[in-house]
Amino acid sequence: MNRNDRLVVEVTVVGKDRKGVVADVTNFIFKNDGNIEQINQRVINGLFGMQLEASFQQREFRKEPFDTELKSLAKKLRMEVKVHYEEPKRLKNIAIFVSKESHCLIKLLDAKAAGKIRANIVVIVGSENTTNSIAEKYQIPFYHIVHSQQTDAEIEILEIMDRYNVDLIALGRYMRILTPNFVWRYPDRIINIHPSLLPAFPGAYAYVQAYERGAKIVGCTAHFVTEDLDQGPIICQESFRVRQRDTVESIKRRGQKLEAVTLLEAVTLYLENRIQVNWGRVVVKNTK
């Protein structure tokens, strides 16, 4: 199939585990003359998640009947089935998730304002209300989502993502752990920035761990989010040398500047279609 004639469709299936789901979905793709490019499925605590990427002949594909039949299949399976179309001619829509810290958020918003990001930043979701004024300054809708249970928060957030037709989610120091129920709906479309050179020093207090262990090089990692905390495919990493006079606070300040730059780099690579994930490893395509 010629790449110029190819339409790529991503189908995600999430729901209570039951037999026959993979067969039903793959048969649906074949019946519609699609070619399965990749497929992954997992079951965690009785929750089934599948991510499938299929390609179709652009000229022969009919979107409306495909969507209608897929809704019927979802009803039959008693699962949530979503479809995401790769549309190269449309600017992608980005959602930014934040908590208290604003450095990554401001970096992305400034890059958009300067024309360095070819995408629409359509919504900001905050687990805290501290960045609301920044959203107002840039005239971007802000949603403060507070729930004692993350699963409850995600129900509300998923509705917001659908409303704004979000293609990519950037976690700009969002200090909540996303559940598999959420992550499986956006395979390789959630980018996180972590304050250490993964796989070392996971968790929220990476700079403190680095200081206490006497690390001589400290950095940060931009990676895709999976159901395994801080274990997703690494997109890019940056680092700096620790000086003798550095304290935890000075390391944190230096690290935050680097976090913002690295997250922007990862988002830019994604938007330029230069990232490919092969067997859990990110390959960055050269533009030359």
Active site residues: 230
Long-range contacts of 255-261 (CB under 8 A, 24+ apart): 255/195, 255/207, 255/218, 255/219, 255/220, 256/101, 256/103, 256/195, 257/103, 258/219, 258/220, 259/103, 259/104, 259/173, 259/193, 259/195, 259/220, 260/103, 260/104, 260/106, 260/107, 260/108, 261/107
Tokens of 186: 């956006």
CA distances (Å), origin 129, targets 58, 174, 218, 256: 44, 12, 30, 20
Are the C-beta atoms of residues 276 and 285 closer than 8 Å to each other?
yes
Cis amide leading into 199 (omega within 30): yes
CA distances (Å), origin 198, targets 85, 156, 201, 234, 240: 31, 31, 7, 8, 14
Q: How far is CA 105 from the centre of its chain?
A: 15
Are the C-beta atoms of residues 224 and 190 closer than 8 Å to each other?
yes
